[in-house]
Structure 1
Amino acid sequence: MPDAVVALAVVGAAHAAFQLTVSVVVYPALASVGADQFTLAHDAHSRRIVLLVVPLYAALVAVCGWAVATDPRPLVQAAVAAHGLALLTTALVAAPTHGRLGTSGPTPSLLRRLAVFDGVRSVAAVVGLALALLALG
């Protein structure tokens, strides 16, 4: 049976890669869509991204739970906390901001809010991965 920290590093790598792709590619592309096409583009983005988000976040939650339950080392707990921060930021800021973008359109303040908190999510995911890798070592 695989070790929880190995699983945390593997799923953490997928999470960090996903989050960096969203930050560097997806959100800038979405922000560059003209206001007249934004609703259509945002709706398409929302339908497509959920196909990646649901299984990735489910795996992340499961692996983080496994790691918390089986490895009390501070590095492991900190890695879980970092990934937890990314998930919490998604639930409390990114998802509601997407909801407002879907209804209000691409206002500068909403796009800026999404970008700022997406940066938080990316840093948290990368830190979670780095800590998990250090815990392997």
Structure 2
Amino acid sequence: MTLLVVHLALTAAYAGFQWTVRFLVYPQFAQVPAEAFAGYERSHQRLVSRVVGPLFAGQGVTTLLLLAVRPAEVPLPPVLAGAACLAVVLGVTAFLAVPLHRRLDGGWDLAAHRRLLRVDGLRVAAATAGTAAAAWALLLA
């Protein structure tokens, strides 16, 4: 039961983080003066990694534990759903968001920013669904 509670806490923390980034942090990128944007973006990447890194690591560990040593009272479907959601978040981050941030490293790019907002919507949806899957697993256990 403790593993499920920790997993739910991590998924909820990440989902809250992702909602904040999508609807507060990223929209404000457009307010940064173009001549200062490259430095701002590099600083954003460095600072945000201090929050997202531990959340990704924690979710990765709890997800792997739930898959590898799932307690008998924990049903498999919500664990698989949560693992799929985490895979989507990590995939979208690695293959879509990170390259867009690298593009923004060179300076303000309106097209890259718009695409980042759309891509981040995928992460919000997957993170929220991952939290729902974690709550589902806890409720059924």
What TM-score, normalized by structure 1, do the two folds share?
Answer: 0.91
Q: Which residue of 2 aligns with 1:135?
A: 137
Return the alpha-carbon distance in structure 2 between the equivalents of residues 127 and 101 of structure 1.
Answer: 28
Q: Which residue of 2 aligns with 1:92?
A: 95
Q: Is the CA contact (8 Å cut-off) linking 2:88 and 2:123 kept in structure 1?
A: yes
Q: Is the CA contact (8 Å cut-off) linking 1:9 and 1:133 kept in structure 2?
A: yes
Gaps of 5+ in 2: none
Pairs aligned (count): 135
Return the alpha-carbon distance in structure 1 between the equivalents of residues 60 and 78 of structure 2.
Answer: 17
What is the aligned counterpart of 2:82 among 79, 85, 92? 79
Gaps of 5+ in 1: none
Deviations 1:47-91 (A, max 9, x none): 211111221111111111111112361111101211221111101
Query: What SS class does the counterpart of residue 118 from structure 1 fall into?
Result: helix
Stretches of 4+ aligned residues off by more than 6 angstroms = none
Q: Is the CA contact (8 Å cut-off) linking 2:15 and 2:131 kept in structure 1?
A: yes
Identity of aligned residues (%): 36
Return the alpha-carbon distance in structure 2 between the equivalents of residues 31 and 85 of structure 1.
Answer: 27
Return the alpha-carbon distance in structure 1 between the equivalents of residues 60 and 25 of structure 2.
Answer: 23
When structure 1 is superposed on structure 2, of 46-55 and 68-77 the one drifting more is: 68-77
CA RMSD of aligned residues (A): 1.4
What is the aligned counterpart of 1:117 among 109, 113, 119? 119
Q: Is the CA contact (8 Å cut-off) linking 1:16 and 1:122 kept in structure 2?
A: yes
1:32-111 pair list within 5 angstroms: 32-71=31-70, 73-103=76-106, 105-111=107-113
